[in-house]
Amino acid sequence: QPKKVAMSGKVGEWQINVTGDESDFPLAMKTGVELILGMTKNVDDVKAIYRNNKTMFEKLKTLDKESYDSIMGDFKTKQESFKD
């Protein structure tokens, strides 16, 4: 029986929710972050996504460091895109 996970970020804007098998958690986070980063309008939005879902990113880091590092790279790229 696969281990289940059900996590949510802080209630409010930029909240990410993931429910399902723990083995699917890294892909669900990557997909969710890609979608939500596409809706950001400034650096503060990007920072708020991380801040509001910090426990989920910490869980991802323990489950799959490579996926975590990839997502952190996505955050950095998005932040830099607003510096133009």
- Rounded Cα distance between 73 and 67, Å, is 10
Q: Is the pLDDT of residue 84 over 80?
A: no
Query: At a CB cut-off of 8 Å and minimum separation 6, what does 2 contact?
Result: 21, 22, 23
For 10-65, how does the pLDDT look when each residue is reduced to its tens digit (9 = 90+)?
999 999 999 999 999 999 999 999 999 999 999 999 999 999 999 999 999 999 99
| Residue 43 CB coordination number (10 Å) | 14
Bridge partners for 6 per DSSP: 19
Q: Whole-prediction pTM value?
A: 0.91
